[in-house]
Amino acid sequence: MKTKTIYACQSCGFSAPRWAGKCPSCGEWNTMTEETQVKQSAATSRRVEARGGLGGASLVKQKPILLQDIEHVAEDRIKTGITELDRVLGGGIMQGSITLVGGDPGIGKSTLMLQMCARLGDVKPLYVTGEESLQQIKSRANRLNLDFSTLSVLAETNADEIVEAMRTTDAGLVIADSIQTMFRTDIESAPGSVAQVRECAALLMHAAKTLGKPVFLVGHVTKEGSLAGPKVLEHIVDTVLQFEGEHIYSYRILRAAKNRYGSTNEIGVFEMSEDGLQEVTNPSEVFLSQRNAGESGTAVTAAMEGSRPILVEVQALVTPTSYNQPQRSATGLDYRRLQMILAVLEKRLGLALGKHDVFVNIAGGLRLDDPAVDLGVAAAIVSSFRDIAIQPDTALIGEIGLTGEVRAVVSIEQRVNEARKLGFQNIVLPEANMKRFTKSSAKEQGTPNAASLSMQGLKPADRILKALLDVVGG
């Protein structure tokens, strides 16, 4: 074997023959570390291939075949016993898949994996821990008070030994916690380095595909919130799950950033309690449970997260600024989207917001990217600016365009039905969506009467403002 010294960026995985203070690829400083790259000779490669390839798993030389000659096998998914997790995965765990679960420290990744192990039914899981002792795993299991009679635990960080355990045990699912602690003996760099993370993940992926056993990798995140390690790690795995949530809130959001076997728009909602993570079956009711109806600066809107409509409270605070440059703050909302809404309110409605600080918050810690919440954000800002409360039974749905019009949104029936279930009788909709709600269909389906609001063509600005305030309680 020949060895070669390279310098690899621990942020993006870029490698170079010489050290540099700043990574030429991602621009991060002081991330280039020295690593030893081992190159196998042709004779060594032949010996490895003769032994059956990486990790002892058998490799068979493949020949190209016609796609129509491949036998179709129906999807055989493993149910996790956790409805919210199955929803995000696309209906369950695919055989032979590899899934990466990332999140902040202490967010609940290991707890979620343990709870999944206790509810897999006939599938025997193997939990490989590289960060905690077996006693610590046992203590967490006792706190969860679940049945772990089929769960096997292994304290190991050698990736080759983990693959050997996958081959020699009857475990039907493997969890590696965490991928940053795993290493391979033929790579001289330290665990957690780019080379180790990449090669260990590739080895486990190869074992998962060959043996047909699904593998879950638990991963850390950087201070920016992205998954630690090289970007190639996200390309290797089949599914990337992000576990999000603020430590000051008890709610956790499980979101699929990549999913080869399902949608990337679905989310799972959990609540952290003393007994572990509890599924939230009705997120709308939870996010509105602490709503202060009748207060100015608050509005209710309906966002779509995958196939699920969720009602959330938008809070806004508009106050005269004491600085030369007014502050703009958005929590749970895209800052640039807030800037656009403020510009439309100033230009089309004539609101003098240039000398006011504007703070907008999505209550509950949820982050929204749905443009249909624009109207709710605008109404909350107007309500706070004029100190006029929105009617408690009003929900506002609509996307705001640059010319001031309220544009149609998708999945309007699901949004309206969700609002109806929670007792909202006054639904503010884009005019283009109103044709779906005729008087006859509203009477037959029990849909609430919907008030339409279209800003397009309403001039001068005072008339637009009056129309908006009439709806919100002015």
43-52 pLDDT tens trace: 444 444 444 4
Q: Could you give the C-alpha distances from 59 to 49, 160, 162, 220, in angstroms and in order?
A: 8, 16, 18, 32
Q: Which residues on neighbouring strands pair with residue 312, listed in sequence order? A: 301
Report the CATH superfamily, name and number, of domain 75-279.
P-loop containing nucleotide triphosphate hydrolases (3.40.50.300)
Distance CA 271, CA 1 (A): 52
Residue 287 predicted with pLDDT over 60:
yes
pLDDT tens, residue by residue, 400-451: 888 888 888 998 889 998 998 898 888 888 878 877 765 434 444 444 444 4
Identify the pLDDT of residue 105.
83
Identify the pLDDT of residue 316.
95
Give the mean pLDDT of the chain.
82
Identify the pLDDT of residue 340.
94
pLDDT tens, residue by residue, 336-347: 999 999 999 998
Residue 417: half-sphere exposure toward Cβ, Cα within 13 Å: 10
Q: Could you give the C-alpha distances from 394 to 28, 111, 293, 346, in angstroms and in order?
A: 48, 39, 10, 24
Say which residue, 447 or 259, is predicted with more confidence: 259
Q: Which of 381, 323, 327 is nearest to 351 (CA)?
A: 381
Q: Which residue has the tokens 């907008």?
A: 360
Identify the pLDDT of residue 366.
83
Identify the pLDDT of residue 260.
92
Q: Which part of the chain has CATH 3.40.50.300? A: 75-279
Distance CA 205, CA 211 (A): 10
Question: 285-472 sits in which CATH class?
Answer: alpha beta
Q: Which part of the chain has CATH 3.30.230.10? A: 285-472
Q: pTM surpassing 0.85?
A: no
